[in-house]
Structure 1
């Protein structure tokens, strides 16, 4: 570990005081170590979105099941009022920036009129067999300026060629090619390692290198999700909870392919690896209902807005991205309760940060160097450095402020480096710890009972390579 230097950066949302002299700013980027992994522009944009919506929809919606058998009649798919634009508007009202559709689930039924099989919307009565859910979905996303992504289940319980090796690979790649060439730009392609027939059933050894090459060739700006990446990893559970320690870096050898099952996999996915040589941030998926598909019996079991705020803090607030599933009903629309909860979640999340950063106007001191003189702009990537093993940034105001939420951010375009930190207030002649944690990454959120203080400080206790802090902010959300 190189503890020679910590680089502490601050943004307009973080510091109320200042920037270094121009000469120091010009020299600073050269001092940043380049050895540790950094995100691609696509990974960076993906994580800054923070919120995406999953849309689970297939014949299961009409058979009241979670997993289909593959022998369902296509005519079971019978929406009476399908409105993908309603999905997109509800997502936007909640603050979500993209949506991912189950273009094909394990039952093999395709939501677009594929040329690869008759087991699709083409064989349903919906829109007289001329409908295309995928088309309506992407058009709705673009009308609301939201990103669109697809999940194409590798496991297909309907297709006879499943388990045959290359013949099924060719079939699956043909479906993937249709989705990635006929519907415009895609922001995320979502895979899992589902191969659920068991040791006595058909099994397919998926050709992941070929699958990934296809995505790269057809949608070079899309990020690829799976347990093992290669761009974005699963967080290891479906509870909406990332690890309290959560590195965006991983060791690819620990989870080499989707569906890999060893005792350490959960820990590896939850925590990442500070010494990992690949940047693969975590995606935390969870459903707004007990199930992933709509069931009438669960209409009274939709998560509350307060619970969604908890999920936001335990996913986005732990350096992950939240992927929240909201399933359409048999009509083809989101249920009114789900829509209301999304909107309420959006309002409550805005209320958390209402009133702005209460450190605005503070005088700032820092370990190891002169304090900034004016507000810094994170977009300009200006920062100040402090030569110290233990680096700190102190804020002093003219009067006490009350706050109950702490927001910290690293400038992750330059990597993730902070391994331990604490946040303190000056009380009764000494520093008292209000929040302590390990990683920060894109965002760290800590909630606590209201505190009052006039002097506050962030301490970076330990880091790998120089650390850049992009945001230090406190709020009184109420």
Structure 2
């Protein structure tokens, strides 16, 4: 395959509008809450007694206000975990809050949270475990799929706009001794029909798992990856078939370190836009446990995760376990407020718009280099196929700088393969940061420098680079 043909195929792979809307969110919350709280468990078994579910002070406004204080823009609720207990009064099972003492069986936590999200301008998403250890049809594949579709339909039609449907793909043995074979394609079709703007995460075709729950992602996190990577989300049977050519291809999973370099992609047949989500919990566990009250992650650890994910072309889904009262615990709330205050302060003063900006390439008027100074729909790109480009930002006085933020124009795909940030020091340009991909956002954090000039040197890109935004931030 000719190299230029590969590059043309790569840069023709672009996001859908639902992808673009998701990229804008960057940082959002997971809420793990359910019957597990009242058994002090991470995973239940479907035999729990609903009479134990009775949060005494549940306040979804408190959840959303606390999450928003950290700078998060959306919430995903575990509406049903693997035990099968539903946080809404599903018409298709008695194993739900309607059988609990909470609000005398009249409660609906999914509704309460969706309304709090609307009240505070947050997007709302749902986690629905395909594995259900309570339902007797589980393992009787088609019959259980009918049940699952009915429950999913309840969630997707009764609670307003849904931005994300989150599947983790856990699958166990049913009471009949059989393993359920999920009809993923049927699930996806239902979501596309009822909530066409929702992304389907993890075991789905839109957003992929980063590969771990520790808050790490790759040095080079590419959005354009082999299309067959998404197939593993719904193909349960990976045994070899005699006429199956794909079986002989190099195995590829979300655990691979390199998913999107030209070397990895050179022999691939098809590509998709399949960006990464980093999911991790603010505590060791995902559900609340009192003994973990003093184990909330430090501000330093959360910032490390934030810079690594949001700052490295991935989204961050941070889990916040709600306690048995039905509140986000004071220790978690305090840490989230500290995180939000740090982020707000770190990016409060963007001095790039005060600079004289130029580039070493010709541009058409619509794609002028000045476009990087704003966060509107305009962007910069060279007039010709020029893979290496330098942007210069000259100030009329010295600033103390410790962050530079870059964003590509994703409608033209992901193109930048490597870049450097240089700062003028005592009349000489010195390199202060180097990295690989940019994508939706690259946060370049470095030791503060006092300078009157910053250069962003794109050292390699796919055909030509684009930049939607460059922010240069004063140290506080």
TM-score (norm 2): 0.88
Contact 2:128 2:167 in 1 (8 A): yes
In structure 1, which of residues 242, 257, 280 is the aligned counterpart of residue 274 of structure 2? 280
Residue 400 (structure 1) aligned to one of 398, 401, 423: 398
1:253, CA displacement in angstroms?
Answer: 0.9
- Match for residue 205 of structure 1? 181
CA drift of 1:362 comes to 2.3
1:412 shift after superposition: 1.4
Gaps in structure 1 of 5+ consecutive residues: 6-31
Change in Cα spacing, 1:231 to 1:334, as seen in structure 2 (3 Å) is: same
CA offset digits 1:347-384 (Å, max 9, x no partner) = 11011112x22334322331123796866544241435
Q: How big is the shift at 1:427?
A: 4.2
Q: Which residue pairs with 2:46 in the alignment?
A: 70
Match in the other structure for 1:248: 223
Match in the other structure for 2:244: none
> Aligned-pair distance for 1:404?
1.5
Query: Is 1:344 matched up with 2:330?
Result: no
Q: Does the alignment pair 1:61 with 2:37?
A: yes
C-alpha distance in 2, partners of 1:41/1:313? 25
**What does residue 350 of structure 2 align with?**
357
* Deviation readout 1:297-323 (Å, 9 max, x if unpaired): 000111223322222111100111111
The reply to whether residue 94 of structure 1 matches residue 70 of structure 2 is yes
Counterpart-to-counterpart distance in 2, 1:74 and 1:465: 59
Per the alignment, residue 287 of structure 2 pairs with 293
Of stretches 389-398 and 121-130 in structure 1, the one that deviates more from structure 2 is: 389-398
Cα deviation 1:271-314 (Å, max 9, x = unaligned)? 44665621121111111111000000000111223322222111
C-alpha distance after superposition, 1:193-218 (max 9, x if no partner): 101459x9641111000000000011
Question: Does the 8 A contact of 2:90 with 2:151 survive in 1?
Answer: yes
Q: How many angstroms apart in 2 are the aligned matches of 1:119 and 1:205?
A: 22
CA RMSD of the aligned region, Å? Answer: 2.6
CA distance, structure 2, for counterparts of residue 252 and residue 373 of structure 1: 34
| Partners of 2:208 and 2:254 within 8 A in 1 | no
Q: What SS class does the counterpart of residue 331 from structure 2 fall into?
A: helix
Rounded Cα–Cα distance in structure 1 between residues aligned with 2:216 and 2:39: 30
Correspondence 1:330 to 2:321: no
Deviations 1:381-415 (A, max 9, x none): 14352543421112223333221222111111322
Contact 1:255 1:268 in 2 (8 A): no
Is the counterpart of residue 148 in structure 1 residue 121 in structure 2? no
In 2, are the aligned partners of 1:254 and 1:268 still within 8 Å (CA)?
no
- Looking at structure 2, the residues matched to 70 and 244 of structure 1 have their Cα atoms a distance apart, in angstroms, of 40
Structure with the bigger RCO (C-alpha within 8 Å, sep 6+) is 1
- What SS class does the counterpart of residue 306 from structure 1 fall into? helix
1:252-263 to structure 2, matched below 5 A, reads 252-258=227-233
Equivalent-residue separation in structure 1 for 2:377 and 2:163 (angstroms): 26
Residue 441 (structure 2) pairs with residue 443 (structure 1)? yes
Q: Which residue of 1 aligns with 2:16?
A: 40
443-452 or 97-106, which moves further after superposition?
Answer: 443-452
Does residue 265 (structure 1) correspond to residue 265 (structure 2)? The answer is no
1:465 aligns with 2:463: yes
Larger mean Cα displacement after TM superposition, 107-116 or 461-470: 461-470
Q: Distance in 1 between matches of 2:428 and 2:304?
A: 32
Aligned mates of 1:270, 1:250 — CA distance in 2: 10
Cα 1:380–1:184 change in 2 (3 A) is closer
Q: Are the equivalent residues in 1 in contact too, given 2:10–2:224 (CA < 8 A)? A: no
- TM-score, structure 1 as length reference: 0.87
Which residue in the other structure is 1:8 paired with? none
Alignment length (residue pairs): 448
Question: SS state of the match for residue 382, structure 2?
Answer: strand
Q: Deviations over 1:441-470 (max 9, x none)?
A: 010012222223333211111111332112
Deviates more, 1:261-270 or 1:429-438: 261-270
CA distance in 2, matches of 1:270, 1:78: 46
**Higher mean C-alpha deviation, range 385-394 or range 91-100:** 385-394
Instruction: Provide closer, same or farther for how the CA distance between residues 359 and 144 of structure 1 changes in structure 2, counting only shifts above 3 A.
Output: closer
**Which of 233, 237, 241 does residue 212 from structure 2 map onto?**
237
Residues in 1 aligned to 2:163 and 2:261: alpha-carbon distance in whole angstroms: 26
Distance 1:329 1:231, change over 3 A: same
In 2: Cα distance, 1:428 partner to 1:476 partner: 19
Matched residue, 2:417: 419
Contact kept? 1:87, 1:333, Cα under 8 Å: yes
CA contact (8 A) 1:249 1:278 kept: yes
**3-state SS in 2 of match to 1:99:** strand
Partner of 1:29: none
Moved over 6 A (4+): 259-263
